[in-house]
Amino acid sequence: MNAGKVYLVGAGPGAPDLLTLRAAELLRRADVVFHDALVHPDTIALAANAEHVAVGKRCGRHSTAQRFINKRLVDAAMKHAIVVRLKGGDPMLFGRAHEEISALGEAGIAFEVVPGVTAALAASADLGVSLTRRGLARSVAFLTPRVGAGEKRNDWARAAASADTAVIYMGIGEAAPITASLLECGVAPSTPVVVVENASLPEQKRFVLVLKELPEIAALGIAGPAVILLGEVYSELQEQALTTSVQARRA
């Protein structure tokens, strides 16, 4: 068998120029690219000679299609030399990389992972606030309360409560239960929170609040991908009243 190779490539958080040189080179040489819905069209366009296949819906909601994606990757590697699986952010963080890697492994297909800039780091760059500001934070937790079908619930809130800074992925639709779980775990209602939508993109927005107000973000019409960051490091943003109804009401 003379199968090709599958590259699981991080596309970065959104801005097309936040891509590694290695990723750009692989896209240039790719025969076929399977990409997530959130990947910027300019990034996909770098694969000028490849067939482009959109797989998955918005991140985190494509569990039913995952087995189908695995199979398509294996099939593509039978036909093509360079198969790129392009994923938002970094493939190894909330990116279902494991399922694809094991399917490729089982089929005897060679693979390689190319890292990307994850949303938490892009949001931190936009905010200009270090996740590990000296004197305030020495630990960071990347978490999601999201559980896939058939998965066991886990104790994500405890991890958030024990880290100095926490970044919550895929949490916007569940702000009220997230807040309740964090408060229950002993996180103070006055803990500084910032929500960053569309990190790294021109349409980026941030909402500065405190934990007890987090359920109110449901009313803010956040439609783009967004992360929730919390911890004392964000206290320095608290005076910058930003565009939210939460802020307007507090003022």
Catalytic residue IDs:
36, 57
Tokens of 155: 């104790």
β-pairing verdict for 165-168 and 82-87: unpaired
Q: Nearest distance from residue 114's CB to ligand SAH, in Å?
A: 13
Smallest separation, CB 93 to ligand SAH (Å): 4
Q: Which is nearer to ligand SAH, 3 or 200 (CB)?
A: 200
Specify the residue, 3 or 160, whose C-beta has the smaller distance to ligand SAH. 160
The least distance separating ligand SAH from the CB of residue 94, rounded to whole angstroms, comes to 4
Phi/psi at 189 (nearest 5 deg)? -60, -25
- Report the nearest approach of ligand SAH to the CB of residue 249 (Å): 24
Sheet strands (E) in 198-239: 205-210, 226-231
Residues interacting with ligand SAH, by CB under 6 A?
13-14, 38, 59-60, 87-90, 93-95, 118-119, 122-123, 169-170, 196, 198-200, 225-227
Q: Whole-number minimum distance, CB 2 to ligand SAH, in Å? A: 31
Planar angle of CA 75, 35, 197, nearest 5 degrees? 155
The Cα 109–Cα 3 span in angstroms is: 7
Question: 243: which 2 tokens?
Answer: 């565009």
The two structure tokens encoding residue 55: 């797989």
Q: Which residues contact 108 (CB under 8 A, 6 or more apart)?
A: 1, 3
CA dist 169 to 45, 144, 160, 224, Å? 27, 5, 12, 13
Nearer to ligand SAH by C-beta: 90 or 100? 90
Nearest residue by C-beta to ligand SAH?
89
In this complex, which beta carbon is closest to ligand SAH, that of residue 58 or of residue 71? 58
Contact 189, 164 (CB under 8 A): no
Please answer whether residues 217 and 195 qualify as being in contact, where contact means their C-beta atoms are separated by less than 8 angstroms: yes
CB nearer to ligand SAH: give 70 or 198: 198
Q: Could you give the maximum distance between any two Cα atoms of the chain, in Å?
A: 68
